[in-house]
């Protein structure tokens, strides 16, 4: 294909493995444990809220920052669950998914040539959104065997050009739930070097083994430099609705809200109303969702062990990274291809979550277990038999 019309910012960027695997999986009618599509039932309140909104003609633009009723409810949720206060008028923006929240946060605060720290294994869309914005990534690491943050790697990644650090917590893809001590330590680094923190907390309700999610913005001194990304894709199983939010101090939000207006105008109106209705769900709903994912995590980790993988059991989120060395595949692309061919199960090559060209992900696959339990059980049977 001719590169004549290609923008420099897109150089090297291609369709993600996350998306590619869904297409490959659909071709063979497989079970998609690749992309985190999250095809679980949507809460009835959420569905009815959107249906009513459509029937009642709620079809025009909302405020660029989203419906104020929704912003108020999200602010109440953040206060109660995350322990941080935001003014719904000036510090919250309803976005086109948390991906949209990241995009407007980046547009509002970073310039081409800035450096940003990502913690490997990272969510590939963070990396590629930064690249598209002309930003240079720097890499720190988590040790998969212990799920512990390698603090020295963070210190090595800091430079005078560094403007921000991205923390995905619980993290996609390794399921690390950052401890309060690690967040405080990262926060001290951010304060010392005057860095922003992008805290992607979209999996905040999915924490296992009695662990509790801690929001970066809650820690002393961090609210003023933290942009929190959240959303309802995972919590209400509406990944295709694209309703997320950005919470940030007014001085940052002033610019981010303009970016949101320019890029998206607003998030889809009736779907905002669906989420608004869903926020009336009782507390037990969130615990049920969490417990179901914990069951799924236990099932898939056991099946992966039996099948010859070495899974690194996640502390949260709905993904698990697994080492396939014992199964003999030469690299992650081959493993993903062979797995799909032999079992009709899609999983993402580990390289998608590491510095491009580094080979640190080459013995890994990422499996998503956000599946109805009967489908997951069938997938587990196939994995066990490998
Ligand atoms: N967050 C999901 C994943 O990591 C879906 C992302 C996407 O489709 N871009 O698979």
| Residues 232, 316 within the same domain | no
- DSSP class of 322: E
Task: Give the number of the atom of ligand 1 that is nearest the alpha carbon of residue 35.
Answer: 10
Indicate which CATH number applies to the domain containing 341: 3.90.1150.10
| Residues 113, 209 within the same domain | yes
371 pLDDT above the threshold of 70: yes
Number of H-type helices and E-type strands within the chain: 12, 14
300 pLDDT above the threshold of 70: yes
Arithmetic mean of pLDDT over the chain? 97
Contact 70, 276 (CB under 8 A): yes
Q: Which of 21, 99, 239, 319 has the most ligand 1 atoms within 8 A of CB, as the residue to mutate?
A: 239
- Mean pLDDT within 282-286: 96
pLDDT tens digits for range 102-139: 999 999 999 999 999 999 999 999 999 999 999 999 99
Round to whole Å and give the CA distance between 351 and 138: 16
273 pLDDT above the threshold of 60: yes
Task: Look at residues 278, 311, 340 and tell me which one is the last residue of a structural domain.
Answer: 278
| Residues 299, 344 within the same domain | yes
Q: In which element (H, E) is residue 53 found? A: helix 44-55
| Residues 38, 122 within the same domain | no
Contact 383, 345 (CB under 8 A): yes
Confirm or reject: Cβ of 35 under 6 Å from ligand 1. Answer: yes
pLDDT tens digits for range 80-100: 999 999 999 999 999 999 999
What's the pLDDT at 361? 98
| Residues 227, 316 within the same domain | no
What's the pLDDT at 4? 84
| Residues 155, 302 within the same domain | no
Task: Look at residues 278, 303, 322 and tell me which one is the last residue of a structural domain.
Answer: 278
What's the pLDDT at 3? 77
Confirm or reject: Cβ of 172 under 6 Å from ligand 1. Answer: yes
| Residues 346, 360 within the same domain | yes
Within 10 Å of residue 143's Cβ, how many Cβ atoms?
13
CA 172 to chain centroid:
5
| Residues 262, 170 within the same domain | yes
Confirm or reject: Cβ of 98 under 6 Å from ligand 1. Answer: no
- Asked whether the bond before 265 is cis by omega within 30 degrees of 0, the reply is no
- Asked whether the bond before 7 is cis by omega within 30 degrees of 0, the reply is no
Q: Report the relative pairing of strands 92-96 and 115-120 from DSSP bridges.
A: unpaired
1 pLDDT above the threshold of 60: no
If we measure between CA atoms, which residue out of 250, 199, 251 comes closest to residue 227? 199
Round to whole Å and give the CA distance between 100 and 283: 27
Round to whole Å and give the CA distance between 141 and 127: 14
* Three-state helix/strand/coil letters over 137-154: EEEEEEECCCCEEEHHHH
Contact 224, 270 (CB under 8 A): no
Q: How far is the CA of 55 from the centre of ligand 1 (A)?
A: 31
Task: List Cβ<8 Å contacts ≥24 apart for 303-307.
Answer: 303/379, 303/380, 303/381, 303/383, 303/384, 304/367, 304/383, 306/383, 306/384, 307/383, 307/384, 307/385, 307/386
Indicate which CATH number applies to the domain containing 159: 3.40.640.10
Round to whole Å and give the CA distance between 129 and 122: 12
Q: How many domains does the chain have?
A: 2
Q: How far is the CA of 68 from the centre of ligand 1 (A)?
A: 28
- Mean pLDDT within 66-72: 98
- What share of the chain has pLDDT > 90, as a percent? 97
Round to whole Å and give the CA distance between 182 and 169: 11
- Mean pLDDT within 21-33: 98
Task: Give the number of the atom of ligand 1 that is nearest the alpha carbon of residue 22.
Answer: 8
User: What residue's CA is closest to ligand 1, atom 2?
Assistant: 36
Q: What is the rounded (10 degree) CA torsion for 256, 258, 264, 270?
A: 90
Within 10 Å of residue 330's Cβ, how many Cβ atoms?
10
| Residues 203, 248 within the same domain | yes
Confirm or reject: Cβ of 88 under 6 Å from ligand 1. Answer: no
- 229 falls in which pLDDT band (50, 70, 90)? very high
- Mean pLDDT within 241-247: 98
Round to whole Å and give the CA distance between 253 and 108: 8
| Residues 247, 349 within the same domain | no
Which residue, chain included where needed, has tokens 């949209």? 100
| Residues 374, 343 within the same domain | yes
User: What residue's CA is closest to ligand 1, atom 5?
Assistant: 36
pLDDT tens digits for range 306-359: 999 999 999 999 999 999 999 999 999 999 999 999 999 999 999 999 999 999
Round to whole Å and give the CA distance between 369 and 34: 9
User: What residue's CA is closest to ligand 1, atom 1?
Assistant: 36
Task: Give the number of the atom of ligand 1 that is nearest the alpha carbon of residue 239.
Answer: 5
Round to whole Å and give the CA distance between 169 and 214: 8
250 pLDDT above the threshold of 70: yes
What's the pLDDT at 2? 67
pTM of the model: 0.97
Q: Which of 121, 172, 174 has the most ligand 1 atoms within 8 A of CB, as the residue to mutate?
A: 172
Task: Give the number of the atom of ligand 1 that is nearest the alpha carbon of residue 18.
Answer: 10
Domain membership of residue 341 as a residue range: 3-42+284-384
Round to whole Å and give the CA distance between 53 and 243: 15
Which conformational region is residue 217 in: left (phi greater than 0), alpha (psi within -120 to 50 degrees), or beta? alpha
| Residues 156, 191 within the same domain | yes
Tokens, residue 111 = 């310039």
Please state which of the ranges 19-23, 39-43, 93-97, 274-278 shows the lowest mean pLDDT.
Answer: 39-43
- Mean pLDDT within 70-80: 98
Q: How far is the CA of 349 from the centre of ligand 1 (A)?
A: 13
Task: Look at residues 230, 245, 278 and tell me which one is the last residue of a structural domain.
Answer: 278
Q: Which of 99, 102, 125, 349 has the most ligand 1 atoms within 8 A of CB, as the residue to mutate?
A: 125
Q: How far is the CA of 330 from the centre of ligand 1 (A)?
A: 25
Q: What are phi and psi of 100, to 5 degrees?
A: -65, -35
Q: How far is the CA of 12 from the centre of ligand 1 (A)?
A: 19
Round to whole Å and give the CA distance between 74 and 276: 9
Q: Which of 18, 168, 320, 348 has the most ligand 1 atoms within 8 A of CB, as the residue to mutate?
A: 18
């Amino acid at each position: 294909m001719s590169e004549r019309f290609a923008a420099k910012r897109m150089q090297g960027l291609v369709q993600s493995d996350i998306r590619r695997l869904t297409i490959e999986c659909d071709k063979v009618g497989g079970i998609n444990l690749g992309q985190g599509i999250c095809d679980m039932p949507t809460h009835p309140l959420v569905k009815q809220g959107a249906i009513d909104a459509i029937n009642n003609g709620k079809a025009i633009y909302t405020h660029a920052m989203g419906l104020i009723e929704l912003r108020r409810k999200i602010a109440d949720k953040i206060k109660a669950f995350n322990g941080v206060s935001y003014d719904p008028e000036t510090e919250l923006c309803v976005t086109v998914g948390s991906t949209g929240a990241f995009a407007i946060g980046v547009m509002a605060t970073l310039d081409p040539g800035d450096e940003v720290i990502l913690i490997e294994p990272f969510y590939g869309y963070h990396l590629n959104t930064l690249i598209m914005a002309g930003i240079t990534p720097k890499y720190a690491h988590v040790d998969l065997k212990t799920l512990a943050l390698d603090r020295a790697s963070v210190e090595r990644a800091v430079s005078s050009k560094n403007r921000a650090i991205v923390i995905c917590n619980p993290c996609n893809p390794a399921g690390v739930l950052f401890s309060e001590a690690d967040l405080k330590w990262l926060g001290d680094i951010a304060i010392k070097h005057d860095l922003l923190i992008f805290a992607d907390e979209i999996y905040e309700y999915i924490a296992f083994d009695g662990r509790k999610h801690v929001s970066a913005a809650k820690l002393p001194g961090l609210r003023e430099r933290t942009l929190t990304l959240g959303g309802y894709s995972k919590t209400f199983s509406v990944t295709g609705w694209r309703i997320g939010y950005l919470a940030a101090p007014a001085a940052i939000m002033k610019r981010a809200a303009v970016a949101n207006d320019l890029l998206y105008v607003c998030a889809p109106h009736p779907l905002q109303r669906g989420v608004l209705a869903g926020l009336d769900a009782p507390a037990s709903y969130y615990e049920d969702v969490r417990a179901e994912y914990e069951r799924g995590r236990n099932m898939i980790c056991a099946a992966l062990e039996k099948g010859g993988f070495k899974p690194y059991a996640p502390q949260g989120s709905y993904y698990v990274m697994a080492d396939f060395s014992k199964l003999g595949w030469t690299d992650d692309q081959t493993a993903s291809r062979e797995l799909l061919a032999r079992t009709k199960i899609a999983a993402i090559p580990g390289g998608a979550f590491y510095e491009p060209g580094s080979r640190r992900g080459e013995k890994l696959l990422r499996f998503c277990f956000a599946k109805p339990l009967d489908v997951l059980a069938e997938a587990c049977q196939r994995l066990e038999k490998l």
